[in-house]
Chain A
Amino acid sequence: NAGVTQTPKFQVLKTGQSMTLQCAQDMNHEYMSWYRQDPGMGLRLIHYSVGAGITDQGEVPNGYNVSRSTTEDFPLRLLSAAPSQTSVYFCASKRLAESTDTQYFGPGTRLTVL
């Protein structure tokens, strides 16, 4: 299994540009989520999904959109990039009924907005 994969690893955008961060998992997990991590801080939940066709907002959803058309993929779209969105973005997945609430994280996308 590849686990959770994310592309790209690094990205530089100009203010106002849009882009999509890709996330895929091959573990047949129902739950997928996107977090952002700013320097010296924890992970803040942007959006999450409990299954194909179902998405919901987390703590910091403004400026981001998601969709979940398949179990495997959960892309994150930045609509109009702003310098405040400079961060490291992690995608994660987990099995919903698991007793240990283990989340599996992708390697992250390091985004800089100029």
Chain B
Amino acid sequence: GQSLEQPSEVTAVEGAIVQINCTYQTSGFYGLSWYQQHDGGAPTFLSYNALDGLEETGRFSSFLSRSDSYGYLLLQELQMKDSASYFCALQNTNAGKSTFGDGTTLTVKP
């Protein structure tokens, strides 16, 4: 099976940079995704890494290291609206289905 581990909570101040880590165990996968979910809302896709290295999308970047079974989401120039839960998810090699971590709740303080 697959399992992912993320910190349950992270707190940062407005304008700062925060990194949310994700470690995983799997026998094989296509890539690692990140999703954002505001309270009561639907998850929305942020980023995907199929290969090792950094992917940048505006204020958000995601990193993957297959040799270390590790990835992270980097949020820069934090804004109050970034307060949300962030989930990492592995894309399984079996039919492309996904396994999600339990999520990290990010609180941005003024």
Whether B45 pairs with A102 at a CB distance below 8 angstroms is yes
B87 CB–A CB distance under 8 Å: yes
Given known contacts A90-B42, A99-B50, A108-B42, A44 and B100 CB-to-CB distance under 8 angstroms: yes
Other A-B pairs, 8, CB within 8 Å; known A90-B43, A103-B35, A105-B43? A41-B102, A42-B102, A45-B99, A56-B95, A101-B31, A103-B33, A103-B43, A108-B42
Whether B102 pairs with A33 at a CB distance below 8 angstroms is no
A71 to B46, CA, bound (A): 25
A-B contact pairs, 15 of them (CB 8 A): A33-B97, A33-B98, A41-B102, A41-B103, A42-B100, A42-B102, A42-B103, A44-B100, A92-B43, A100-B48, A101-B30, A101-B33, A101-B50, A102-B45, A103-B45
Chain B residues near A (Cβ < 8 Å):
8, 30-31, 33, 35, 41-45, 48, 50, 87, 89, 91, 95-103
What total count of A-B pairs have CB within 8 Å? 65
Query: Which residues between 54 and 102 of chain A lie within 8 Å of chain B, taking CB atoms?
Result: 56, 58-59, 90, 92, 94, 96, 99-102
